[in-house]
Amino acid sequence: MTDFLVIAFSILVAGVIAVPLATRLRLGSVLGYLLAGMALSPLLAILEVDLERLQIFAEFGVVMMLFLVGLELEPKRLWDMRRRLIGMGGGQVVLTTLVIAAIALIFDNDWRTAMTTGMVLALSSTAS
């Protein structure tokens, strides 16, 4: 239990430091959390942290974030934005997939690997 509390405390402190710093530099809070994770990586290696247990903790955080987004989203507003969301959101995913797949093809990847890489990275960009 103590290990979990030390890890949780370390993650929270890193986030509390990195996110305002990234926001002040106009980088965005998501990039701040990414930088906090990168900064914590050596510490977690020294502490020999079980990454599978840490992943469960991280997944809980993602679920809570989605819950908070859901609390602020009004169904009527979502319905009003449906064309924009499907058109622009879908366009962003398709365009990002094609650009990344093209770059992967330039580096002599198989077309299936290139498309898979493009789709995975395009979907990861929607989280920002």
Name the domain count of the chain.
2
Please check whether residues 13 and 68 belong to one and the same domain: yes
Whether pLDDT at 117 is above 80 = yes
Dist. CA 15–CA 37, nearest whole Å:
8
Closest to 7 in 3D by CA, of 66, 63, 51: 51
Task: Report phi then psi at 107, rounded to 5.
Answer: -90, 25
Whether pLDDT at 108 is above 90 = yes
Please check whether residues 91 and 67 belong to one and the same domain: no
Amino acid making up residue 118 = G
Residue 128 pLDDT level (bands cut at 50, 70, 90) = very low
Please check whether residues 66 and 93 belong to one and the same domain: no
Please check whether residues 88 and 65 belong to one and the same domain: no
| pTM, two decimal places | 0.50
Domain enclosing residue 16, as ranges: 2-72
Cα-based distances in Å from 57 to 4, 40, 61: 9, 15, 7
Whether pLDDT at 15 is above 50 = yes
